[in-house]
Amino acid sequence: MFYNVFTILMRLKSIKSKLLTVLLLTGLLPLSIFGILNIRSVQTDLHKEIANKLLLLAEAKEGQIFAYLDSIETRTIDFASDSFIQERTKEILKTAPETADSLNNYLLTKKSLGELAGILIMNPEGKIVAATLAEEIGKDESKDIYFIEGKERVFVAELIGKDPHFGLSGDNFIVTAPITDKSSGELLGVIGNVFRVDKLREILAGEFQLKKGALSSRGGITTTLDIYLVNKRKMMFLWTLAKSRFHEHSKGMTVDTLPVAECLEKSREKVGRYKNYDGKEVVGASMCIPKLGWILLIELATQEAFAPIAAMQVRAGLIIFLFASLIIFTVLFLAEKIVAPIKALSDATEIVAKGNLDYRVKIETGDEIESLGNTFNQMAADLQKSVERLKNYSNELEKKVRERTEELDFAKKKDEAILASIGDGVAACDKKGHIILFNKTASEITGFSFSEVIGKQYEESLKFVSEKTGLPGNDFIDEAIRTGRRTRMANHTLLVRKDGTKVPVADSASPVRDEKEKITGCVVIFRDVTREREIDRAKTEFVSLASHQLRTPLSTINWYVESLLSGDMGKMSEKQRKYLEESYRASKRMIGLINALLNVSRIELGTFVVEPKPTDIAALLKDVIAEFKPQIEEKSLLFEESYAKDLFMIQADPKLLRIIFQNLVGNAINYTPENGRIKLTLDRRKSDILIKVADSGIGIPKNQQDKIFTKLFRADNAQEVVTDGTGLGLYMVKAIVDHSQGKIWFESPNERKGTTFYVSIPLKGMRVKGGTKELA
Amino acid sequence: MNTGKKILIIDDDASLQHIYQTKLTSEGFTVFQAFEGKEGLMLVATREPDLIILDIMLPGGMNGFDVLEELKRSAIWKNIPVLILTNLESEGKVAKTIGAHRYLIKADTSLREVIREVKELVK
């Protein structure tokens, strides 16, 4: 609970209110509680005291009443036993009432004093025979209780309202006593003293005392003390308050209050607080006088009774109010003192925060807040300095950024210029395949503008298709991104332009890596190779055409000569024959040259095909050697062959193999002088087949060995031996071997020391190679 | 034997045609000659040869392949064996695809070999 209060407190918005609330709570609250408790206890004490006082008073008053009653009874008895009265009464009874005058006079003179309103004497029948007032004589009191009881003993009773005596009724009373003959004891009559209630009132009211010379009578209690008597009919018949509304309407007032009921019903005397006949809250004590059925009530209005309490409360209230005011003023004053500098600080912070760094706060309270103020000023000063420095840095930075931007701009423009001027189409894409770069040539080739392709998937603008199948050929781009390797476009790739026309292109895709070697994209470079293709085609066509044109006359020569040589046109002389044979050979050589040129062209253009099929290499080799048999015999060469045992068919293009063998064997034969030796070996090794052609020929000069496989190259010593060699043979062989996944090399210690050529073909065999032409 | 067998030669080279004729006739064949494609096809229709020797480079709008295609398209003549004799290099595959039986290069083939082939094919 306290925590909640506390949190609410802390939400108050100002120090003032916080201080105020706290002080008020901590000051006033205990004070109030203390005050209330105090008042309560005082109230209780007072209550007790008053009750006690009232009780005492009631008891005293009761005593007084009893004393009074006693006195009037005694008086009455005295009267009753007065001999004169007795005598006279006796006489009156016996004789006529006239003689009562003397009794009356006697009564009058001797006996009626003060509160006695009158005396009357009744005969034993109840008739008044003598009285101090003539009008009383003759009344019949036989029915009245005081007569009946008075016959026996002294009796006090109230006068009933309906039966006035001596002009009194109601609240006054009569005391009766029997008059008995002294000697005989016979009842002579009943004497009745009618007393005015005033005396009792005086007694009760304390006036009697005052009259008798007492200095005070009210015990210090003031105005509302009400002492009154209530009879058994619940009627107030005696009151003491002279002037008050009590008085005005209390005569004949029914008092049906709690203590009255208690007395009459339970004979219980009460002291406490209750509501009196007027409905007012009173403190009262009751005394029951059962003898007469009277109830003595002493009541004090609680208002008056507890007036001191009220006063106390007022005082307490005043004190609290003063205290609260004191607190408030103190707080306000104090708060002002504390809050003002804080507010100054807060305002200063706002000002500085808004940008006015020159502002300094002035606090001279001499306490911690002043030191805070100083620190603040220091901070503002430092801030100012920092801001200055920062401004300078910022300016510097701006300048640098500007410079750098210019540099970058320039570099960018340079790059753009370079890119634009690259003759090839350059397109770059990111990892996801979105185009991020597209140069001018790319636009020209594809027909898409830069803005049409940038950011979009490359497939939309770079549409490569295979020339042969028409299927998309974009895989090489994906492959580059995926594998991180540079890939080439497949041959015969076409690019579909924006307008749908197809353009033959060539080139490659490369992955782009960042500094961490992660693939971030791809660069595709492509060229419109229409021109190249045309040139190629022209070249091949040219070559084809040329070879065709060259061959045609030669084949005509050949056949005609052959026909002649076979004797179709008749017999010839030996000389004629010889000449013709020369021609034939020459033309054959020419054809060989043309074929060689054709092959070289095919090799250069990469257009030759490789069509492997299961080939018996040994058989092929033997076949080739058979072709050369004439030459071997002519030069008397020793030709050895050695074939491995477990040879089998391997995948190879027999035409190409033939060319290889023809060249190697031919070279061996050509460049080995007569009576030389040639050894041919065919071996099977672990993963390949090895062909060895070893000759004892002219060898290859060391300083020319590195050129042996080059196109049109002929070693000097070879030139001497064979004048019309083409220099294309080994070039072709090497090309074929390279395209067959094989290897070729040679050993030749030096000139005239012989040469050995080695060719290895993998057991896997040759791979299919697409091309348009076969080699001749 | 060879007598009676008709050979149609379609080639625009007159010298070669002469030697073809001389040689083949001396072997006993009957020789018909055409110097261009359309002429050749007409002769196929009229002479019904047993073998056609076909050159590729022909004038007149139709080359040897066109002629071959035509032959293969016709129901009657598609079975006549065709020997392509040309100096064009390596169109052999194409020729075979269209349906030629043999593809020889004149410059690489001796006359003797040609005669042998002819005899072979005519059978």
- φ, ψ for residue A400, nearest 5 deg: -60, -45
Q: Return the number of other C-beta atoms located less than 10 Å from residue A320's C-beta.
A: 15
Higher-confidence residue: B49 or A151? B49
Q: What is residue A692's predicted lDDT score, i.e. its pLDDT? A: 93
Window from A206-215, A642-651, B102-111 with minimum mean pLDDT: A206-215
Q: Does B14 touch chain A (CB under 8 A)?
A: no
Select from A171, A183, A283 the least CA-distant residue to A230. Answer: A171
Q: What is residue B25's predicted lDDT score, i.e. its pLDDT? A: 92
The whole-angstrom distance between B115's CA and the closest CA on chain A is 12
Q: In what order do the strands lie in the sheet with B6-10?
A: B30-34, B6-10, B51-54, B82-86, B102-105
Q: What is residue B55's predicted lDDT score, i.e. its pLDDT? A: 92
Q: Return the number of other C-beta atoms located less than 10 Å from residue A219's C-beta.
A: 13
The whole-angstrom distance between A775's CA and the closest CA on chain B is 8
Residues 71-110 of B with CB under 8 A from A: 86-90, 92-93, 105-108, 110
- φ, ψ for residue A13, nearest 5 deg: -90, -15
Closest partner residue to A563 (CB to CB) among B19, B93, B108 is: B19
Tell if the CB–CB gap between A772 and B90 is shorter than 8 Å: yes
The whole-angstrom distance between B76's CA and the closest CA on chain A is 32
Average pLDDT over residues B79-83: 91
Q: In what order do the strands lie in the sheet with A116-122?
A: A128-131, A116-122, A187-195, A173-180, A155-158
Tell if the CB–CB gap between A552 and B106 is shorter than 8 Å: yes
pLDDT band at residue A46, thresholds of 50, 70 and 90? confident
Residues of chain B contacting A595 with CB distance shorter than 8 Å: 107-108
Closest partner residue to A548 (CB to CB) among B19, B23, B57 is: B57
Residues of chain B contacting A598 with CB distance shorter than 8 Å: 89
Residue A536 near residue A504, CB atoms below 8 Å: no
DSSP β-bridge partners for residue A684: A689
- φ, ψ for residue A457, nearest 5 deg: -65, 145
Select from A602, A536, A736 the least CA-distant residue to A656. Answer: A736
Higher-confidence residue: A161 or A495? A495
Residues 508-547 of A with CB under 8 A from B: 544, 547
Q: pLDDT per residue over A153-209, tens digit each?
A: 888 887 766 566 776 666 677 888 888 887 887 888 888 888 777 777 777 777 665
Residues of chain B contacting A653 with CB distance shorter than 8 Å: none
Residue A573 has pLDDT above 70, yes or no: yes
Residue A241 has pLDDT above 70, yes or no: no
Q: What is residue A260's predicted lDDT score, i.e. its pLDDT? A: 82
Q: Does A560 touch chain B (CB under 8 A)?
A: yes
CA distance A728 to A709: 8
Tell if the CB–CB gap between A554 and B112 is shorter than 8 Å: no
pLDDT band at residue A293, thresholds of 50, 70 and 90? confident
Contacts of A542 (CB under 8 A, 6+ apart): none
Q: Does A556 touch chain B (CB under 8 A)?
A: yes
Average pLDDT over residues A734-751: 87
Q: Does B3 touch chain A (CB under 8 A)?
A: no
Average pLDDT over residues A356-367: 84
Contacts of A408 (CB under 8 A, 6+ apart): none
Closest partner residue to B107 (CB to CB) among A551, A562, A774 is: A551
Q: Return the number of other C-beta atoms located less than 10 Å from residue A578's C-beta.
A: 11
Tokens at A477, concatenated: 């781009």
Residues of chain B contacting A544 with CB distance shorter than 8 Å: 88-89
How would you classify residue A284: left for phi > 0, otherwise alpha for psi between -120 and 50, otherwise beta? beta
Q: What is residue B2's predicted lDDT score, i.e. its pLDDT? A: 59
Tell if the CB–CB gap between B106 and A544 is shorter than 8 Å: no
pLDDT band at residue A243, thresholds of 50, 70 and 90? very low
Select from A197, A63, A59, A79 the least CA-distant residue to A132. Answer: A79
Tell if the CB–CB gap between A591 and B88 is shorter than 8 Å: no
DSSP string covering A31-83, please?
HHHHHHHHHHHHHHHHHHHHHHHHHHHHHHHHHHHHHHHHHHHHHHHHHHH-H
The whole-angstrom distance between B90's CA and the closest CA on chain A is 6
- In the 8-state DSSP scheme, what is residue A28? I
CA distance A255 to A283: 15
Q: What is residue A245's predicted lDDT score, i.e. its pLDDT? A: 46
Q: Above pLDDT 90, what percent of chain A? A: 12
Contacts of A233 (CB under 8 A, 6+ apart): none
For chain B, how far is it from start to end, CA to CA, in angstroms? 9
For B84, counting Cβ atoms within 10 Å of its Cβ (0-12 exposed, 13-18 middle, 19+ buried), the class is buried
Residue B68 near residue B100, CB atoms below 8 Å: yes
CA distance A229 to A510: 132
Q: Return the number of other C-beta atoms located less than 10 Å from residue A584's C-beta.
A: 18
Q: Does A627 touch chain B (CB under 8 A)?
A: no
Tokens at A651, concatenated: 């995948």
CA distance A107 to A134: 12
Tell if the CB–CB gap between A544 and B89 is shorter than 8 Å: yes
CA distance A352 to A387: 12
Q: Which amino acid is at B105?
A: I
Q: Does A80 touch chain B (CB under 8 A)?
A: no
Q: Does A589 touch chain B (CB under 8 A)?
A: no
Contacts of A745 (CB under 8 A, 6+ apart): A757, A758
Q: What is the mean pLDDT of chain A?
A: 81
Apex CA A540: angle with CA A539 and CA A542, to 5°?
60
Q: Does A598 touch chain B (CB under 8 A)?
A: yes
For chain A, how far is it from start to end, CA to CA, in angstroms? 112
Closest partner residue to A776 (CB to CB) among B26, B57, B89 is: B89
CA distance A567 to B122: 25
Q: Above pLDDT 70, what percent of chain A? A: 90
Contacts of A274 (CB under 8 A, 6+ apart): A257, A258, A259, A281, A282, A284
CA distance A561 to A574: 14
Nearest residue in chain A measured CA to CA from B89: A544
Q: Please give the model's pTM, rounded to 2 decimal places.
A: 0.42
CA distance A152 to A180: 10
Residue A277 has pLDDT above 50, yes or no: yes
Contacts of A156 (CB under 8 A, 6+ apart): A69, A72, A73, A146, A173, A174, A175, A291, A292
Closest partner residue to A548 (CB to CB) among B16, B87, B110 is: B87
Residues of chain A contacting B111 with CB distance shorter than 8 Å: 558-559, 562-563, 566
Strand A128-131 relative to strand A155-158, pairing: unpaired
Q: Does B46 touch chain A (CB under 8 A)?
A: no
Closest partner residue to A554 (CB to CB) among B26, B89, B107 is: B107
Residues 717-776 of A with CB under 8 A from B: 772-774, 776
Cα distances from A350 to residues A29, A403, A409, B22, in angstroms, run: 39, 38, 44, 123
Higher-confidence residue: A189 or A608? A189
The whole-angstrom distance between B59's CA and the closest CA on chain A is 15
DSSP string covering A559-619, please?
HHHHHHHTTTT----HHHHHHHHHHHHHHHHHHHHHHHHHHHHHHHHT-B-B--EEEEHHH
Tokens 């050509």: give the residue.
A670
pLDDT band at residue B47, thresholds of 50, 70 and 90? very high
Residue A133 has pLDDT above 80, yes or no: no
Closest partner residue to B16 (CB to CB) among A544, A556, A773 is: A556
Average pLDDT over residues A547-572: 89
Tokens at B1, concatenated: 């034997």
ipTM score assigned to the predicted complex: 0.91
Residue A689 near residue A617, CB atoms below 8 Å: yes
Residues of chain A contacting B25 with CB distance shorter than 8 Å: none
CA distance B44 to B34: 10
DSSP β-bridge partners for residue A762: A688
Residue A244 has pLDDT above 50, yes or no: no
CA distance A534 to A532: 5
The whole-angstrom distance between B78's CA and the closest CA on chain A is 27
Residue B11 has pLDDT above 90, yes or no: yes
- In the 8-state DSSP scheme, what is residue A213? T
SS3 A282: strand
The whole-angstrom distance between B26's CA and the closest CA on chain A is 9
Q: pLDDT per residue over A474-492, tens digit each?
A: 777 777 777 877 777 666 7
Q: What is residue B92's predicted lDDT score, i.e. its pLDDT? A: 66
Strand B82-86 relative to strand B102-105, pairing: parallel
CA distance A558 to A434: 64
SS3 B69: helix
Residue B88 has pLDDT above 50, yes or no: yes
Tell if the CB–CB gap between A555 and B87 is shorter than 8 Å: yes
Average pLDDT over residues A367-378: 87
Residue A531 has pLDDT above 80, yes or no: no
Tokens at A761, concatenated: 């073909």
- φ, ψ for residue B49, nearest 5 deg: -70, 160
Tokens at A192, concatenated: 């009745």
Average pLDDT over residues B83-101: 77
Residues of chain A contacting B19 with CB distance shorter than 8 Å: 556, 559-560, 563
Tell if the CB–CB gap between B108 and A776 is shorter than 8 Å: yes
CA distance B12 to A518: 66
For A656, counting Cβ atoms within 10 Å of its Cβ (0-12 exposed, 13-18 middle, 19+ buried), the class is buried
Closest partner residue to A562 (CB to CB) among B16, B90, B110 is: B110
Residue A608 near residue A771, CB atoms below 8 Å: yes
Tell if the CB–CB gap between B106 and A591 is shorter than 8 Å: no
Tokens 């008397």: give the residue.
A636
Q: Return the number of other C-beta atoms located less than 10 Å from residue A349's C-beta.
A: 15
Higher-confidence residue: A53 or A89? A53
CA distance A643 to A200: 176
Residue A360 has pLDDT above 60, yes or no: yes
Q: Does A591 touch chain B (CB under 8 A)?
A: yes
Say how many CB pairs under 8 Å bridge A and B. Answer: 65
Tell if the CB–CB gap between A566 and B107 is shorter than 8 Å: no
Q: pLDDT per residue over A642-654, tens digit each?
A: 888 877 788 888 8
Q: What is residue A396's predicted lDDT score, i.e. its pLDDT? A: 93
Higher-confidence residue: A442 or A86? A442
Residues of chain A contacting B93 with CB distance shorter than 8 Å: 774
Apex CA A335: angle with CA A332 and CA A338, to 5°?
155
Q: What is residue B42's predicted lDDT score, i.e. its pLDDT? A: 93
Residue A413 has pLDDT above 60, yes or no: yes
Residue A560 has pLDDT above 90, yes or no: yes
Q: Does A548 touch chain B (CB under 8 A)?
A: yes
CA distance A762 to A743: 9
